[in-house]
Structure 1
Amino acid sequence: MKTPILVAVLIAAGASATAFAGASCQAHPKDKWIKEADFKKQLTGQGYQIKTFKVDGNCYELYGKNKDGKKVEIYFDTVSGKPVKSEIDD
Structure 2
Amino acid sequence: MKKSVFVLLAALVAVPAFAGAKCEKHPQNEWMPKEKLQAQLQQQGYTIKKFKVDGNCYEMYGHTRDGKKAEIYFDTKTGQPVKSEISK
Q: TM-score, normalised by structure 2?
A: 0.82
Percent identity, aligned pairs only, is 55
1:27, CA displacement in angstroms? Answer: 0.4
User: How many residues matched?
Assistant: 83
Aligned pairs (5 A) from 1:4-83: 16=14, 18-20=15-17, 21-83=19-81
Question: Please, which runs of 5 or more residues in structure 1 have no aligned partner?
Answer: none
Structure 2: runs of 5 or more not aligned: none
Q: What is the root-mean-square deviation in Å for CA atoms of aligned residues?
A: 2.0
Helix, strand or coil for the counterpart of 1:74?
Answer: strand
Once the two structures are superposed, residues 16-63 of structure 1 have per-residue CA deviations (whole angstroms, 9 ceiling, x without a partner) of 2x2220000000010010111111111111111001100000000011
Large movers: runs of 4+ above 4 Å: 12-15
Q: TM-score, normalised by structure 1?
A: 0.80
